[in-house]
Amino acid sequence: MPSALAISGLEKTYKGGFHALKGIELNVEQGDFFALLGPNGAGKSTTIGIITSLVNKTAGKVSVFGHDIDLELEQAKSFIGLVPQEFNFNQFEPIMKILLNQAGYYGVERSIALGRAEKYLKQLDLWDKRNEPARQLSGGMKRRLMIARALMHEPKILILDEPTAGVDIELRRSMWNFLRELNQQGITIILTTHYLEEAEMLCRNIAIIDSGIIVENTDMKSLLAKLDIETFVFDLKPSTALQSFKQFNARAVDDHTLEVDVKKSQTINRVFDELNKHGLDVLSMRNKSNRLEELFVNLVGRGQLADENVVKEK
């Protein structure tokens, strides 16, 4: 069974000389929910652009469900649904027309396209807006329109570049549920996002790209297992003793909030024991930040370091 996406030795140097991708190797299995993460300018959108033929590659190979984009571009394209980062539909067209046109470009019969448009517009809560020009939709609605548009030809692989950027929490969660359902139906999903919580909650496998280099490519569980220290925030009954609590690299945020770092080798029970000894009563406790976020910062830092070394060697 071919991979949904196989990338090897992918390079991209833009006209101005900017070396955006430096030999990307990536493999996404069929049915996967895959996160491609990286800071701004790392090469995520360039990679997606090459996969979807919006960007010309400098070197390397890309195959979609076994179809090499150099040899069988049209077959490869027919498997892909793209939800780009920026709105790229005709703002003056009614949304139903946008969907029907897109289906037409993929050779979908109009009668079938009408049924699919109704299905996806209803699922994405846009059916009432079907005859309105796209420019009249809110930002969240425009994002959902782009998802509906990407699904009109029923792709086998859906690539979403920052699909929930600027979307409120409630809508974001409903979009997560929708994407989970699509994945359960067998659609391979590749996601780029700045919301690392999103990647942690949705994705099984992950690649982190930085300065055009893949600095990590593994499954989410293995990656999270690498986290050595986790920071917890304790809400306490106000106490002056809090300032004198220095174990676990503790920091008092105010007179009733304490942050502590717990290593993997330590247990949280020990933190509670020490808090008890200091007469501090715990009201509640939570993780300070998303675990993936901490790993991401570490890995991206490492990538930058590697890149600097490459520059120095030159």
The rounded distance, in Å, linking the Cα atoms of 41 and 20 is: 8
Q: How many residues does the chain have?
A: 314
H-helix or E-strand spanning residue 7: strand 5-13
Instruction: Tell me the per-residue interface mask from 127 to 166 with other proteins, x by CB under 8 A, - otherwise.
Output: ----------------------x---x-------------
Q: Which stretch binds other proteins (CB under 8 A): 98-106, 162-170, 211-219, 273-281?
A: 98-106
User: How does DSSP assign 113-153, residue by residue?
Assistant: HHHHHHHHHHHTT-GGGTTSBGGGS-HHHHHHHHHHHHHTT
**Distances, alpha carbon 292 to alpha carbons 143, 184, 225, 289, in Å:** 25, 24, 10, 9
Q: Which of 70, 105, 226, 279 binds other proteins (CB under 8 A)?
A: 105
Q: How far is the CB of 87 from other proteins (least distance, A)?
A: 8
> Among residues 153 and 172, whose Cβ is nearest to other proteins?
153
With tokens 């895959």, the residue in question is 34
Q: Which stretch binds other proteins (CB under 8 A): 72-80, 114-122, 201-209, 248-256?
A: 72-80
Helix axes 95-105, 139-151, angle to 10 degrees: 30
Angle at 223 between CA 219 and CA 227, to 5 degrees: 165
Q: Is 53 helix (H, G, I), strand (E, B) or coil?
A: coil
- Backbone φ and ψ of 35, nearest 5°: -105, 130
Q: By the 8 A CB rule, do 208 and 196 touch?
A: no
> Among residues 63 and 205, whose Cβ is nearest to other proteins?
63
> Among residues 84 and 303, whose Cβ is nearest to other proteins?
84
The answer to whether residue 106 forms part of the interface with other proteins (CB under 8 A) is yes
The answer to whether residue 252 forms part of the interface with other proteins (CB under 8 A) is no
In the chain, the N- to C-terminal Cα span, in Å, equals 41
DSSP state of 94: B
Q: How far is the CB of 74 from other proteins (least distance, A)?
A: 4
Q: How far is the CB of 46 from other proteins (least distance, A)?
A: 8
Q: Which stretch binds other proteins (CB under 8 A): 2-10, 96-104, 224-232, 249-257?
A: 96-104
The answer to whether residue 266 forms part of the interface with other proteins (CB under 8 A) is no
Rg (CA), the chain: 23
10 Å Cβ neighbour count for 112? Answer: 13
Q: Which stretch binds other proteins (CB under 8 A): 34-42, 108-116, 211-219, 264-272?
A: 108-116
Q: Which of 58, 75, 174, 257 binds other proteins (CB under 8 A)?
A: 75
Q: How far is the CB of 70 from other proteins (least distance, A)?
A: 13
Q: Which of 63, 102, 164, 211 binds other proteins (CB under 8 A)?
A: 102
The answer to whether residue 104 forms part of the interface with other proteins (CB under 8 A) is yes
Q: Which stretch binds other proteins (CB under 8 A): 85-93, 176-184, 202-210, 223-231?
A: 85-93
The answer to whether residue 276 forms part of the interface with other proteins (CB under 8 A) is no
Instruction: Give the footprint of other proteins on residues 26-55 (CB under 8 A).
Output: 49, 52-55
The answer to whether residue 97 forms part of the interface with other proteins (CB under 8 A) is yes
Kindly provide the b/e burial profile for residues 260-284, where b requires at least 16 CB atoms within 10 angstroms of the residue's own CB. bbbeeeeeeeebeebbeeeebeeee
List contacts with other proteins (CB under 8 A): 14-15, 49, 52-56, 73-75, 77-78, 80, 82, 84, 86, 88-91, 97, 100-110, 149, 153
